Amino acid sequence: TIKGVIFDLDGVIADTAEYHYLAWQKLADEEGLSFDRQINEALRGLPRRESLLHILGDRHVSEEQFHQMMIRKNHYYLELIQNISPADLLPGVRNLLAELKANNIRIGIGSSSKNAKEVLQRLGIIDFVDAIADGYSVIKPKPAPDTFLHAALQLKINPCECLIIEDAEAGVTAALAGGMSVIGLGPIERVGNAHLVLENLAETSWQTLENQISQVQKSLL
Ligand code: BG6
Ligand code: MG
């Protein structure tokens, strides 16, 4: 049985994945690097450093320039999230959080972002959250399972009692590597390895999700 749900943040709780993309696009345009939405798909869920390495491709820059580019991208990102508010919660999220609380299911965040706490605060849901694993918590980022394992440890539950909700391929891989159940949000091409794939969290309930996941678990036995 599921005792805790660990949410990825960007692209699951709010559409901040779009702001990460816009910030990288601005940096890439200024630097004359080829980048677009399609290339960005490969970056979904990856940490800042890995994302920039990917965008640079074989363009060589000094360590100092690399560092400055990461700072600049984050500056653009922070500008973009200045105005986010509880209205930016994706459909179904607030409802699901409230249902989890009512059912005594623990709530965690497992994000690669160093801005996770600020985003949660702006979205007005930090008080729902029992544990946060973010871009500061572990050395090995997703697709390694460490981020989610760190959250599970804080929640004091076993990995097999955790349900992860993710929108990125790297995050689905991380959850499976950690021996956790995982719901993928988005297209099959991206999150098709998840135990259950949904378009989003709108029009679902904890009871429905729990039933669907336990069906899958039974069929895997
Ligand atoms: C992930 C996002 O949650 O966090 C990525 O999906 C982002 O797009 C990564 O690169 C790191 O975030 P930050 O805020 O530390 O640059
Ligand atoms: Mg995400």
pLDDT digits (tens, 9 = 90+) for 144-173: 999 999 999 999 999 999 999 999 999 999
Helix axes 93-102, 206-220, angle to 10 degrees: 80
For 1-43, what is each residue's pLDDT tens digit?
999 999 999 999 999 999 999 999 999 999 999 999 999 998 9
Helix axes 169-177, 146-155, angle to 10 degrees: 60
Q: How far is the CA of 1 from the centre of ligand 1 (A)?
A: 30
Give yes or no: 15 in active site. Answer: no
Indicate if the alpha-carbon torsion angle 185, 28, 55, 66 is positive or negative: negative
Model ipTM over 0.90: yes
Q: Supply the pTM of this predicted model.
A: 0.96
* pLDDT greater than 90 at residue 208: yes
Give yes or no: 146 in active site. Answer: no
Ligand nearest to the CA of 167: 2
| Contact 10 CB / ligand 1 (< 6 Å) | yes
Confidence at 221, pLDDT banded by 50, 70, 90: confident
The residues, ordered by sequence, that sit 6+ positions from 153 with a Cβ below 8 Å of its Cβ are none
**Rounded to 5°, angle at Cα 198 from 104 and 84:** 70
Radius of gyration of the chain (CA): 17
Give, for ligand 1, the residue of 26, 48, 76, 132 to mutate: max count of ligand atoms closer than 8 Å to Cβ.
Answer: 48
The H-or-E segment that residue 6 falls in is strand 4-7
The residues, ordered by sequence, that sit 6+ positions from 209 with a Cβ below 8 Å of its Cβ are 96, 163, 183, 196
